[in-house]
Chain A
Amino acid sequence: MDYDFNFAAVWRDFDILLSGLGLGLVLAVISIAIGCLIGLCLAFAMLSKKRSIRWAATVYVSVFRNTPILVLILFTFFALPEFGINLGKIESFIVTLSVYSGAYLTEVFRSGLVSLPPGLREAGLTVGLTEFRTKILITIPVMFRRVLPALGNNFISLFKDTSLAAVIAVPELTFYARKINVETFRVIETWLVASLMYVIACSIIAAILRRTENRLAIPK
């Protein structure tokens, strides 16, 4: 093989790629925030006394964990309008990613909650807190710190999943990479740079998360 590397074309559009990366991050942050809310509610639902509620939460988790995210993205974007639900492509993608991450985070939070000593909740109750405030002030904050590493991994995977937004033409990194690929034919350079951008972004996120974990860790 003889291939002349020429990064000039990719370099010229580097700022566009960077903006795409930024959009991906924003999408991931918004989605995980909504996903956390969904996950928290469903995690408590999974531990509910009522069978029907547990069952409903289990079905949600099972369905969204086992269905390809691409199918979900296409479904939300192309099929939901038939129900009269018309979302822009970015909104539609955020909805999909939130719902999808909600399923994964439910599992994360559920296992975090069951790993807490039962006495924690009881101690909250004995100082006169209601069940709800005990959750808000005690169980959830303690659980959150325990699941932080898992939450971080989920965020990184979610960030990588934002590459799929390209399929519905959301202008994130992969979308621009494909565009530059087609326009310049600098195939290797384009994909090398794009993947390196993802890889580096992921390691930076991982490093930030590790620092946050240490900062939030409960002193021992």
Chain B
Amino acid sequence: MTIPVLEITNLHKKFGEVEVLKGIDLTMQSGNVVSLIGSSGSGKTTLLRCVNLLEDYEDGVVAVEGEQIGYKQHKGRRIRLKEREIARQRAMTGMAFQHFNLFPHMSAIHNVMLGLIKTRKTPKDEAYAAAEGWLDRVGMKNWKDHYPGQLSGGQQQRVAIARAIAMNPVLMLFDEVTSALDPELVSEVLAVVKDLASDGMTMLLVTHEMQFAHDVSDTVVFMQDGRIGEQGPPEQLFHNPKSERLAAFLKNSKF
């Protein structure tokens, strides 16, 4: 069997005294698309952010392609990796945020090029061509010289996705990429995500769009109070929920 792209074992995370992740286990193989659903505060964002170490975690292991993220074991003790190592590991995964977080002082294409040039050490002209290609892929090639402030939310999000996938990550993380958007802009972003999924990209995504989760995922994970409440194929989770909690949650979500 091949090494899983993502393997999370017994992940625990606290904010101060409050434990928000209480032992998460999750495995993803190459090409998997996993959606995290669950009520607000259940820990979906936190889980995602532990995968690229935007949040430290106290206990358990997050491994991407078999490599533990952020820490190494040394004589039975856990040691935080050096900054440089962590930066390299972060570039293995790509992330798209709810609020896009484009670099406002750079044009769309320079947003996409930055990681290529600075992290991947790609020569400038090559990076430019690659970035242009990715912008084309998300339908933003004609806007490449615009600055984030000049783009709509949907357009910014598409550039942000291009910025992330341009790094050729083994795993893409999406955190509610449509929930800051005006309703009429949601579909253009979802179309991009769907396109990537059908192309075989491994993705872990948090979403409140149940129909979308249903259509795009192989596995849906229902999070509840920092634990995985239920997981399985979308058909099963959405149409035959086992727990009361999930049934109630689905009833309250728009579908």
A interface list, Cβ under 8 A from B: 117, 119-120, 122-133, 137-138, 141-142, 145, 218-220
Across chains A and B, the number of contacting residue pairs, with CB separation under 8 Å, is 77
B119 touching A126 by the CB < 8 A rule? no
**Proximity string of chain B (81-106) to chain A, C-beta cutoff 8 Å, 1 when within and 0 when not:** 00110011011011101011111110
* Interface presence of B54 (CB below 8 A): yes
Q: Bound state CA distance, A141 and B103, in angstroms?
A: 10
Given the known inter-chain contacts A142-B103, A218-B149, please indicate yes or no for A125 contacting B54, CB distance below 8 A. Answer: yes
Interface residue? B118 (CB, 8 A): yes
Say which residue of B87, B93, B101, B118 sits within 8 Å of A120 (CB atoms). B101
Q: What is the total number of residues of chain B having a CB less than 8 Å from a CB of chain A?
A: 32
**In the complex the two chains form, what is the Cα distance from A126 to B164 in whole Å?**
8
Query: Taking the complex as formed, is B115 at the interface, i.e. its CB lies under 8 A from any CB of chain A?
Result: yes
The reply to whether A137 and B114 contact each other, CB–CB distance below 8 Å, is: yes
Chain B contacts with A in 119-158, Cβ cutoff 8 A:
119-120, 146-147, 149-150
Contacting residues, chain B, for A128 (C-beta < 8 A)? 87-88, 90-91, 115, 118-120, 167
Once the chains bind, are A126 and B95 in contact (CB under 8 Å)?
Answer: yes
A127 touches B167 (CB 8 A): yes
Beta-carbon contact of A127 and B114 below 8 Å: yes
Q: Are B149 and A220 in contact (CB under 8 A)?
A: yes
Is B163 engaged at the interface, CB distance under 8 Å to the other chain?
A: yes
**Set B99, B100, B115, B147: member contacting A127, Cβ < 8 A:** B115
Which 3 A-B residue pairs are closest in the complex by CB-CB distance?
A128-B91, A127-B115, A128-B119
B50 to chain A, nearest CB (A): 13
